[in-house]
Amino acid sequence: MFFSENFGDFGRNKFLKEVVFSMKEKSGTPEFSKIRSIFWPIHGFEMKKFMPMSLLMFCILFVYTAVRDLKDTFIQKYAVLGGAELVSSLKFWFVFPTAILVVMLFSAILSRFGMNKTFYIVTSFFTLFFLAFAFFLFPNRESIHLSAQTMIRMRETWPSFLYYIIPCLGNWSFTLFYILAETWGSLAIGSLFWYFANQITKKDETKRFYALYSLIGNVGVFISGFYMTQMSKVQGQAFDTNVKILVSMGAFFCVATMLMYYYINKVVLIDPRLYDPTQIKRKKKKAKVGFLEGLRVVFTSPYMFLIFMLPMCYGIGMNLYEGIFKAQMAETLTNASDYSRMMGILSMVTGVATAVLTFLGANILRKKSWKFSAMVTPASLAVLGLIFFVLMSYKVGGGKTIMGFSVPIIAIWVGLAIDAVGKGIKYCLFDTTKSMAFRPLDADTQAQGQGAVEVIGGRGGKASGAFIQYFILNIASAGSALLSHTYTIFILFSFLVVGWIISVSKLGTLYEQKITEQEKE
């Protein structure tokens, strides 16, 4: 009678299920079947929390994919005197310093306003910028940017090392879009989402929820890429209109991100079954490591130096490869719509590759050694990179076809595969094995080491790869085209991958020794 009057059939069934679940936990019965524990370890009542958080990541990654694909299109096809040669200058002189400033600014806002207000402040800023870009900056780009004649005169009178920086300044709205597109990826995913997730996810949920957050979030990458390919089927003025729609979609999903965040806070977190502050796994505060202190930590420990080499090699290697890959795309795909369509396809392939590699990587980590798991990333990029650079070298040497197929087109598709695999494997194996490498260290060394690797290795790898290309294009051979340096980039890439593999091999040996010693103790 109590159930009928107060809960009804739904309430009675819900109550009984929770009682049964509680009894299973106490009796030691597995929570899920073997198959479900691998693919969907989520309880029915947890869907109220799990799905909104997954949709939150979906919205963030949709925005990131849309603006990431468009930023390259603007620099490669819309910018006056633009092209792949501008990218290294953008990354080194604009994105890298901005990333450091944004980290400082985000910390200041967070400490003053708290997480909730910070989330709305940051997301609102990006929403307003995307709307301003779509309806004012992009339609008036010809009147607000410098003319080609003006920039050519500046190149003739300014120092040669500014050769490719001048177009970045002249096309200032595209440069600003490029910077903020890159910033959204690191800030919204790394700081907003995961900071929030760590605050509200219970200890017993982390291992079950986190991998699936990324998996469902990557559906946003796929859908955004698909949407980009469909909108890029038109050319000329029609595509210009679609660009405004695509940027507006970024603003729309920024608003959706805020609405989802509001719903989670006001509806989900008031349920005591889904949010209990005492059950939250608090992350240990990482030691703040300055640049000079980071260098000391890295270069005084052989083990730490080998860990530091992992993100450095990945960042430099991917930057060297992407420079040639995107330059080849820009040369072959002459229309802005064709270029953006290929970027959309790249995002779709990346989404699928990440999903597949997530399950594959989990099995590799479970069944194989650390050395084998860590070696997968450089070995994969070595094989695919070799194929790509051999194709590009053949093309530069005058080769046009292979078995009747166009070499430039083959190179684009091979390059696309490398990009998708490289990004997918980073999320599921590279980042995980890098984090695992700190396990044998004591707590203080681990905190200092991770801080040093993030400050010096993570950001330094990307900046170093960009600087190498900047040096080649603006100092060693000022004003030259990037594709004319394919052989040089190939040699640098080859040395880098070999050094990466040697570092992983040595680190794997030391890792196993330290783990063995730790187990004995």
H or E stretch at 405: strand 405-406
pLDDT given for residue 279 in this prediction:
57
Integer Cα distance of 77 and 2 in angstroms: 70
**pLDDT at site 475:** 93
Distance CA 499, CA 39 (A): 37
DSSP reduced 3-state for 438: coil
Q: Tell me what pLDDT residue 5 has.
A: 39
Q: How far apart are alpha carbons 50 and 207 in whole angstroms?
A: 13
- Segments of the chain with pLDDT less than 50: 1-29
**pLDDT number for residue 9:** 43
- CA distances to 36, 284, 303, 511, 512 from 438, rounded to whole Å, are 31, 14, 10, 9, 12
Record the pTM. Answer: 0.87
Reduced to 3 states, what is the DSSP secondary structure of residue 486? helix
Secondary structure class of 202 (helix, strand, coil):
strand
DSSP state of 158: S
pLDDT for the residue numbered 20: 40
Question: What is 10-59 written as a DSSP string?
Answer: HHHHHHHHHHHHHHHHHHT--SS-HHHHHH----GGGHHHHHHHHHHHHH
In the prediction, which pLDDT does 12 show? Answer: 40
Q: What is the pLDDT of residue 450?
A: 74
